[in-house]
Chain A
Amino acid sequence: MSMLQIKNLRAKIDNNEILKGINLTVNAGEVHSIMGPNGSGKSTLAQVLARRESYEITGGEVLYNGKDLLAMKPEEAACEGVFMAFQYPVEIPGISNAYFLRAAVNAVRKYRGQDELDAMDFLPLVKEKMRLLEMDERFLNRPVNEGFSGGEKKRNEIVQMAVLEPKLALLDETDSGLDIDALKIVAKGVNSMRGKDRAILLVTHYQRLLDHIVPDFVHVLVNGRIAKSGGPELALELEQKGYSWTEPEPAGVR
Chain B
Amino acid sequence: MSTINQIEDLTKQEYKWGFVTEVEEDRLAKGLDENTIRAISAKKNEPEFMLEWRLKAFRYWASQEKSQAEPTWANVKYPAIDYQDIVYYSAPKKKPELKSLDEVDPEILRTYEKLGIPLLEQQRLAGVAVDAVFDSVSVATTFKDKLSKLGVIFCSFSEAVQNHPDLVKKYLGTVVPYTDNFFAALNAAVFSDGSFVFVPKGVRCPMELSTYFRINAAETGQFERTLIVAEEGAYVSYLEGCTAPIRDENQLHAAVVELVALDDATIKYSTVQNWYPGDKEGKGGIYNFVTKRGKCAGKNSKISWTQVETGSSITWKYPSCILQGDNSIGEFYSVALTNNRQQADTGTKMIHLGKNTRSTIVSKGISAGYGQNTYRGMVKIQKGATGARNYTQCDSLLIGDKCGAHTFPYIEVKNASSSMEHEASTSKIGEDQIFYLQQRGISKEEAVSMIINGFCKQVFRELPMEFAVEAQKLLGISLEGSVG
Interface residues of A (CB under 8 A from B): 50-54, 73-75, 77-79, 83-84, 86, 89-95, 100-101, 103-104, 107-108, 111, 143, 160, 164
| Contact (Cβ within 8 A) A78 B438 | yes
Q: Which A residue sits closest to B435, measured CB to CB? A: A52
Q: How far is the CB of B458 from chain A (nearest CB, A)?
A: 7
Is there contact, CB below 8 Å, between A86 and B436? yes
**Shortest distance from the beta carbon of B463 to any chain A beta carbon, whole Å:** 14
Q: How far is the CB of B280 from chain A (nearest CB, A)?
A: 25
* Contact call A74/B454, Cβ cutoff below 8 A: no
- Residue of B430, B450, B455 touching A100 (CB-CB under 8 A): B450
> What sequence of 0s and 1s flags, for each residue 422-457 of chain B, a beta carbon within 8 Å of any chain A beta carbon?
000000001111011111111110100011011111
B179 adjacent to chain A (CB < 8 Å):
no
Residue from B432, B439, B456 whose CB has the most chain A CB atoms within 10 Å: B439
CB <8 Å contact, B454 and A54: no
- Contact indicator A89/B436 (Cβ below 8 Å): yes
Asked if A92 and B456 make an inter-chain contact with CB atoms under 8 angstroms apart, the answer reads no
> Contacts A53-B1, A53-B6, A54-B3: A92 and B453 contacting too (C-beta < 8 A)?
no
Find out whether the CB atom of B439 lies under 8 angstroms from the CB atom of A74.
yes
On whether the beta carbons of B453 and A75 are closer than 8 Å, the reply is: no
Chain A hits for B456, CB < 8 A? 94
Decide yes or no: A50 and B6 within 8 Å by CB, A90-B433, A103-B446 being known contacts: no
Residues of A near B437 (CB, < 8 A) are 92, 100, 104
CA distance A164 to B441 in the complex (A): 10
Given A54-B1, A92-B433 in contact, is the A75-B454 Cβ separation under 8 Å? no
Q: Are B440 and A160 in contact (CB under 8 A)?
A: yes
CB distance from A174 to the nearest CB of B (A): 14
**Which one of B433, B441, B453, B456 has the greatest number of beta carbons of chain A within 10 Å?**
B441
Q: Pick the contact of B457 from A50, A79, A94, A103 — CB < 8 Å?
A: A94
How far apart are A60's CB and chain B's nearest CB, in angstroms?
19
Residue of chain B at shortest CB distance from A79: B441
Query: Within the complex, which residue of B432, B444, B454 is in contact with A143, where a contact is CB–CB below 8 Å?
Result: B454
Chain B residues, CB < 8 A from A84: 439
Q: Is the CB of A90 within 8 A of B432?
A: yes
**Are B442 and A107 closer than 8 Å at their CB atoms?**
yes
Sample of 16 further A-B pairs with CB below 8 A, known A92-B451, A92-B454, A93-B457: A53-B1, A53-B6, A54-B1, A74-B438, A83-B439, A84-B439, A90-B432, A94-B456, A95-B450, A95-B457, A101-B440, A103-B442, A104-B437, A107-B440, A107-B442, A111-B441
Complexed CA–CA distance, A93 and B441 (Å): 19
Which A residues touch B451, using CB under 8 A? 92, 95
- Asked if residues A75 and B443 are in contact (CB atoms below 8 Å), the reply is yes
What are 17 A-B contacts defined by CB distance under 8 Å? A53-B1, A53-B6, A54-B2, A73-B444, A75-B444, A78-B441, A86-B439, A89-B436, A90-B432, A90-B436, A92-B436, A92-B451, A95-B450, A95-B451, A95-B453, A103-B442, A103-B446
Q: Which residue of B lies closest to A99 (CB)?
A: B450
Beta-carbon contact of A95 and B442 below 8 Å: no
Q: Which residues of B contact A108 (CB under 8 A)?
A: 441
A93 and B455: CB pair below 8 A? yes
B147-176: CB near A (< 8 Å → 1, else 0) gives 000000000000000000000000000000
Interface residues in B448-478 by Cβ distance below 8 A to A read 450-451, 453-458
Of all chain A residues, the one with the shortest Cβ separation from B364 is: A94
